[in-house]
Amino acid sequence: MEQEKKLSEQESLVLITQMINKAKNSYHDTGIGAMMWGAVIAICSLVRLSEIHFGYRLPFDIYLLTLVAIIPQIYLSIKESKERKVKSYDDSYMNYIWLGFGICIFLLIHTVNNIFSDWGSWADKFKEVTGTSATPGFYEYIAPLFLMLYGLPTFITGAACKFKPMLWGGLFCWACCIITVYTTIKIDLLLTALSALSAWFIPGILMEKEYRLYKKEQAQNV
């Protein structure tokens, strides 16, 4: 590109449009993080479902896997941020949204665990007073809260990045949020696994595919 080439007004406008489009299409997510979290949440839900269905308990809480997954996520974030040659405004907002989502999940788990620690004694008192069996465990009711939270950043990311699979994934989470209010814990866990797959795992695979194509094109252009 020559620096001093005189441009006509029309050429200037075409150049501006071209460059803005180039900048817009300059970043493609690898999709690895989305795939990983989709798989982790789906595995946790399905393992918990099998524990309940087949009546066994693992020697550890399967949901601890989500804490372990934070380590590769940090590694991936640092690696991807180092490789990036450009930072967009959208990326900054998205990072804050997902960070906020992580904090909300942590707060929800903290709140639920604290309430649940008292639930046993409440259930016993309920049985004492009414003479009927205790109401179902508190965990029967928490799946919709998690699904509601899963849907929010997924929906925003899908809408902001114009990535429809994630937009639909977010909507699917919210649909499951409504359904799980009326279903048993087993169905809740199954729908949570399906939500994780549709909101993150499948969009992650599609993102990865796009990323590969983008890299291939880049290599061909060099």
Partner 1 sequence: MFNDLDPILHSQLRLAVISLLISVKEAEFTFLKEKTNATAGNLSVQIQKLKDAGYIDVVKQFKDNYPQTICKITSKGIDAFAQYVKNLQTYLGK
Q: Which is nearer to partner 1, 57 or 85 (CB)?
A: 85
The one-letter amino acid at 33? G
Residues near partner 1 (CB under 8 A) = 1-7, 9-10, 12-13, 15-16, 18-20, 22-24, 26, 82, 85-89, 91-92
CB of 2 to partner 1, least distance (A): 6
CB of 33 to partner 1, least distance (A): 20
For residue 88, the minimal CB distance to partner 1 (Å) is 5
If the CB atoms of residues 114 and 221 are measured against partner 1, the closer one turns out to be: 221
| Nearest distance in Å: CB 71, partner 1 | 22
DSSP state of 136: P
Return the number of the residue (5 or 57) whose C-beta is nearest partner 1: 5
Determine the Cα–Cα distance for residues 195 and 51; give it in Å rounded to an integer: 20
Neighbour tally for 24: CB within 10 Å: 11
Nearer to partner 1, 77 or 111 (CB): 77
Give the tokens for residue 75: 């590694």
DSSP 175-214: HHHHHHTSS-HHHHHHHHHHHHIIIIIHHHHHHHHHHHHH
Closest CB to partner 1 among 60 and 89?
Answer: 89
Q: How far is the CB of 90 from partner 1 (least distance, A)?
A: 9
Query: What is the distance in angstroms between the CA of the first residue and the CA of the last residue of the chain?
Result: 16
Write the CB contacts of 93 (distance below 8 Å, at least 6 apart in sequence): 160
Yes or no: say if 66 and 125 are a contact pair by the CB < 8 Å rule: no
Query: In the complex, what is the shortest distance from the CB of residue 87 to partner 1, in angstroms, rounded to a whole number?
Result: 4
The residue (of 77 and 92) whose beta carbon lies closer to partner 1 is 92
Give the orientation angle of helix 143-160 with respect to helix 89-130, to 10 degrees: 170
Q: How far apart are CA 28 and CA 47, in angstroms?
A: 32
